[in-house]
Structure 1
Amino acid sequence: MPAFSWLALFFGAFYFVYGAYLPFWSLWLEGIGVSAEQIGLLLGAGMAIRFAGNLLIMGRIKGAGHLLPITRLLCLLSLLAFLGFYVSHSLWWLVALTLVANFIYPTLMPVGEALATRMVVQTHLDYGKVRLCGSFAFIVASTLVGALVGNFGSEWVLHTMVAGLLLMLLLSVLPLNPAPQELQGERARASLRDTLKSASVRRFLLITALLQGSHAAYYGFSAIYWKAEGYSGTVIGYLWALGVVAEICMFAADKRFLQRLNAQTLFLVGAVGCVVRWSLLGASSELWVLVLGQLLHAVTFCVSHLGAIRFMTRQLPAEQMIPTQGLYAALGLGMMVAALMTICGVLFEPLGGGIFFLMILVVLPVFVLRLRVPAEGTPA
């Protein structure tokens, strides 16, 4: 199967599952009797273990040829892990299974991104168009699950995820053409330790950790907060879907309108969007404010993420791309979100929507941080 089609299907399946998990997993936990503080701890523990999973699993990938076998194994283990949530709802079982599931499943994100960035370099793949297929699937899932939760109950969050994981496993065994391969003249893959010796990589990781970490309150508690404010599961699903519609538009516009912008500029635009968005969501739960805030997802997440892809595909030597992808997922999309999500879990009951204002403080340092990198080369 051509690289574009394979990756479009894979991203679609992964983000379909993620579209059920990210907005609604907290509601599933609430539905089985878990308290808000315990939800925060479970979500935080899950995000924290991603750090170890991303580093250990990505660290085992010795070259581009290992990406597909690892992807298929992770799909199988992810399905088995989430099937385990049917077995018991005791707190210690939930803790243990949360750690296992989040050690395995989220690593499919950096592995998939590593496949995509490899194809960007290897076949000049249009990353934005491939990635927007995942965003579209996220919309379908969040809208579908929102309706299912509203009409049939929160147990449908898990049912939908298991169905999506089974589909992802089946898709992953399809052949990818061309297969990922080492580039001519490429040196052996750099280790995580060697990659971290780069000052530009460390600065990049700090910036992305702050930008993506500031989404912790939104990812962990927006659904619970909006439900408490009187919105139905269907409306919450539509709100999440709207944010991803905006994300799709931004991904689609990337190659045509954003190609001249370097990573630093994209990070600054993302930071401005974060300040505006978290201010809006913290100040009001009026529907028009939530709609505007969700449209800004195109800036807070998407533009920031495109900045990360721009840095990794244009400004890194090829041997550092896979380890940097793993570090980005572990720190920017994992550890920072985990720490902040745990804090939000403790503060949600006393502060309510005020936890969004705390996220503004997280992102402010981005305005004074600067990437120290050589001039950009070939466009992504």
Structure 2
Amino acid sequence: MNHFMKTRFGFVYFSMFAFIGIHMPFWPVWLEYKGISPSGIAALTALSFSLKIIFTPVVSNIVDRSGQRRKAAIILSLGLFVSLLVFSKTNEFIPIFLLTIFSFACWSPIMSLAESLATVTAREQKFDYGKVRLWGSVGFMVVAVSSGKLLAIFGESALLWSICGAAGLLFVSSCLLPKTKVSLIKSEEVTILAFFKSKWFVSFLIATTLIQGSHAGYYTFGSIHWRAEGLSDQIIGILWGSSVVGEVIVFAFGRVLLSRLGPVNVLIIGGIAAALRWLMIGSTDSIFLLLVAQCLHALSFGACHFAAMQIITNKVDASLSSTAQGIYSAFSMGLGMGIFVLLSGPFYSLLSGGTFFVMSAVSLAGTLCLLLLKSIEMNKISHSNTLKDMGRAMPEGT
């Protein structure tokens, strides 16, 4: 039963990151193929991230009240799949803009719902979350590389159908999610604002938002910068792939790292690694040094995300886990990414590779917030105390 459960979640993570593995590198390419201007592409890309700010915490909170996490994931993934099919009939900015709102409103909460189910089930059935989550990294790597080859053979028109295929796979995997039961909460017992009464949760949010937001310059202009530095598309593909290899290793062995160092310390290490990574990418065109910098993705994203999941699992009651995951996703993957994606355009126009130095400073700012977090005692957030003063707490102990 335990092995079957891990297989189901592994399939879900593979499907989610297969979608990301096509969308993140190649959605701008498809938009350009449809005749969207560079400023329009930047706006649509930022929109796809920013929708998390609204929809993820709201949907997650509704789901915590109903307990229907699996049903919500199925409905949302079906909505994503159908709306992406409609993109094939669009050629103008306004219809694409409106479809982007609907499709990525559906996409935005799915990961936090799956993460909530995975972390709660992993705790109940005592399996290693990291060894399930690593299949997401494998899915990203496999699909990103194969989509590049698909683009070379069939051209840009094939990209949309690949994205639709990934969304269809996500719908199928969502249907296999378990009906994990958690205690329901009454609507009056918790609100999203209650989380912001917690001093440690606010510090945690600011820190992770800055550290993950610092990746925006890389996601938006990493490949463009490397091409400007004279690197071939094949080398650039290897650089992207090498980053995910390190991430797989972290998710395979991250549980040991967290148990020895504690999740807050792991977040600090990840923030420092991110700052160093952006400094290296902005200052060298050495393939060897860039490979070293890309291996730091294992810490700047992989270890940080794993540690964040551990903090939420340990310090937020299971009945509120979807809400906590939703808020975390909305800020770190939505607000931070959306803001810095928009800012990275003007920064890159002015500074070129110097943009990565700015991103390094952003990550260091997040790391300083984590040092503040270490000085705050962390209590477990539950529906029985969400309306109390969240500043009072027990020691973190993790």
TM-score with structure 2 setting the length: 0.87
Aligned length: 374
Structure 1: distance between partners of 2:107 and 2:349: 29
1:223 corresponds to 2:223: yes
Q: Classify the secondary structure of the residue corresponding to 1:197.
A: coil
Contact preservation (8 Å) 1:54, 1:107: yes
1:154 corresponds to 2:174: no
Unaligned ranges ≥5, structure 2: 379-393
Q: Mapping of 1:185-264 within 5 angstroms?
A: 190-231=190-231, 233-264=233-264
Q: Classify the secondary structure of the residue corresponding to 2:108.
A: helix
Structure 1: distance between partners of 2:122 and 2:214: 28
- Which range moves more in the overlay, 70-79 or 365-374? 365-374
Structure 2: distance between partners of 1:84 and 1:360: 39
Residues 134, 312 of structure 1: alpha-carbon distance in 2 compared, 3 angstrom cutoff: same
Alignment correspondent of 2:293 = 293
Alignment correspondent of 2:395 = 375
Q: Deviations over 1:96-129 (max 9, x none)?
A: 2222222111321111111111112222231100
Alignment correspondent of 2:117 = 115
Contact preservation (8 Å) 2:69, 2:113: yes
Unaligned ranges ≥5, structure 1: none
Residue 231 of structure 1 and its aligned partner are, at CA, apart by 4.6
1:141 corresponds to 2:161: no
Identity %: 28
Residue 171 of structure 1 and its aligned partner are, at CA, apart by 2.3
Q: 2:101 aligns with which of 84, 99, 102?
A: 99
Residues 46, 313 of structure 1: alpha-carbon distance in 2 compared, 3 angstrom cutoff: same
Contact preservation (8 Å) 1:246, 1:296: yes
- Which range moves more in the overlay, 122-131 or 228-237? 228-237
Contact preservation (8 Å) 1:26, 1:224: no
Residue 250 of structure 1 and its aligned partner are, at CA, apart by 0.7
Residues 147, 119 of structure 1: alpha-carbon distance in 2 compared, 3 angstrom cutoff: same
Residue 205 of structure 1 and its aligned partner are, at CA, apart by 0.7
Alignment correspondent of 2:342 = 342
Amino acid at match of 1:236: I
Residue 291 of structure 1 and its aligned partner are, at CA, apart by 1.7
Structure 1: distance between partners of 2:353 and 2:259: 36
Structure 2: distance between partners of 1:222 and 1:156: 23
Contact preservation (8 Å) 1:23, 1:223: no
Contact preservation (8 Å) 2:51, 2:108: no
Amino acid at match of 2:17: Y
Q: 2:175 aligns with which of 168, 173, 176?
A: 173
Residue 22 of structure 1 and its aligned partner are, at CA, apart by 1.3
Residue 309 of structure 1 and its aligned partner are, at CA, apart by 1.1
Residues 233, 78 of structure 1: alpha-carbon distance in 2 compared, 3 angstrom cutoff: farther
- Provide the alpha-carbon RMSD of the alignment: 2.2
Alignment correspondent of 1:22 = 24
Structure 1: distance between partners of 2:157 and 2:253: 37
Contact preservation (8 Å) 1:43, 1:220: no
Amino acid at match of 2:70: L
Alignment correspondent of 2:317 = 317
Residue 297 of structure 1 and its aligned partner are, at CA, apart by 0.6
Residues 58, 294 of structure 1: alpha-carbon distance in 2 compared, 3 angstrom cutoff: same
Structure 1: distance between partners of 2:37 and 2:85: 22
Structure 2: distance between partners of 1:163 and 1:56: 27
Contact preservation (8 Å) 1:19, 1:139: yes
TM-score with structure 1 setting the length: 0.91
Residue 376 of structure 1 and its aligned partner are, at CA, apart by 4.1
Alignment correspondent of 2:307 = 307
Structure 2: distance between partners of 1:25 and 1:34: 11
